[in-house]
Amino acid sequence: MKLSAFGEKFAGNSGIVELMDDLGSALRDNPDMIFMGGGNPGRLPVVEAVFRQRLEAILADPAQRHSLFGVYQSPQGDRDFRNQLAGFLNRQFGWGLGAENIAVSNGSQSAFFILYNMFAGLMPDEEPRTIHLPLAPEYIGYGDIGLSADFFTATRPSIELLGDHLFKYHVDFSHLADAKNIGALCVSRPTNPTGNVLTDEEMSHLDAIARARHIPLIVDGAYGLPFPNIVFTEATPHWNDNTILTLSLSKLGLPGARTGIVVAREDIIRAFTNANTIVNLACGNMGPALARALFDSGEILSLGRDHIEPWYRERSQLAVRWFREQLGDLPYHIHRPEGAIFLWLWFEGMPITSQELYQRLKQRGVLVVPGHNFFVGLNEEWPHRNECIRVSYASDADAVKRGVAIIAEEVAKAYAAL
């Protein structure tokens, strides 16, 4: 069997394929595996109860039940859902949106596949353009999504050491100015994998750069504002007519519903919808059906404010405390947790790579993600890329605590070999 260039690229191995394969096979191979690698949200009974009640109401109504299971929705998504979401965003932020400014996708990953390849790759004038990531490390799922080679570029961050084993990445605007041939800027906020929340000032600066270059700023808000609001610091939601904001229902507790949301000006939404028709034909109905009433009532905000954000904030604080207790005086740093559901650990000068540490931990029954996969578009030699791991604290607390102890043991062994 001979594959095309597309086939070879997308059927091959990649960081995201390895991650999802591990998630799918690890439990089968080791029923006691401690999952600290994936992005699966935590189970919050109060949130699950809201979705259960909504699903029961839908199933009890023949018309709603048929709409859920027996009808293709538009490739732009259910219009009632888009109207309610637009109304919600307008009430909260005064953005002046209509249903025509919103599209639904079958998960954020498929939305990014379309959006990125709309703005980067080989342009009509044969000039290649890239998606530029102003702050690396960035989401592992971006890395292999482009249809052409050298699809991503990135700016190496500046690092601020904060004391007490904490640090923070910042956008290095002095070097970002050197980036050439860019089709769009993209940031996640909070950043996956680090939990970094770009400041309002950084967002305004990026917006100004994008406008000056006549390119869009794409903001991945899967963990952030205004929902699910897994943000532990002060931040203002960002959108304007040069911004493409992507949102998701996954971290609300609906990853299986595969519902992504794109908020953009009309011409971008039309182009996205046309491409989405070719790629996906239609959008799934489950996520919009379950969430529609939450936007109409505003309950989407109280779920985040009263339940989701406090749960993850407490978990992040516990995880940091456990790592401090277990790692002791080892040369480690934790990115200050400002949002999302992960800790990002940097083991400075570690004599093994993060990939080797990942393999050792996997043998011990702990699944993490090696950090080098997240430095998408940053091709320069930098030892830091191989000294970091991403760990999730969203699963059972006792399991996470055991996993932290095992991680500390393996890191201590690595440094002891020096």
pLDDT in tens, 290-313: 998 888 888 999 999 999 999 999
Q: Where are the domains of the chain?
A: 5-46+303-416, 70-297
Q: Are 219 and 187 in contact (CB under 8 A)?
A: yes
> pLDDT tens digits for the chain (418 residues)?
777 777 777 777 766 676 667 666 665 667 788 999 888 899 999 999 999 999 999 999 899 888 888 888 888 998 999 999 999 999 999 999 999 999 999 988 999 999 999 999 988 887 999 999 999 999 998 988 988 888 999 999 999 999 999 999 999 999 987 788 999 999 999 999 999 999 999 999 999 999 999 999 999 999 999 999 999 999 999 999 999 999 999 998 888 889 999 999 999 999 999 999 988 888 888 889 899 888 888 899 999 999 999 999 999 999 999 999 999 999 999 999 999 999 999 999 999 999 999 999 999 999 999 999 999 999 888 999 999 999 999 999 999 999 999 999 999 999 997 7
Give the DSSP H/E element, type plus range, for residue 397. helix 397-416
pLDDT at 3: 76
CATH level 3 topology of 70-297: Aspartate Aminotransferase; domain 2 (3.40.640)
Unique residue bearing structure tokens 């406008």: 211
Cα 415 to chain centroid distance, Å, stands at 31
Domain 5-46+303-416 classified CATH 3.90.1150.10? yes
Structure tokens given for 335: 């990115």
Closest-CA residue to 332 (of 232, 417, 231, 414): 414
Closest C-alpha to 135, from 175, 180, 166: 175
Secondary structure (3-state) at 114:
helix
Identify the helix (H) or strand (E) that includes residue 9: helix 5-11
In eight-state DSSP terms, residue 148 is S
- Which pLDDT tens digit goes with each residue over 242-289? 999 999 999 988 888 899 999 999 999 999 999 999 888 888 888 898
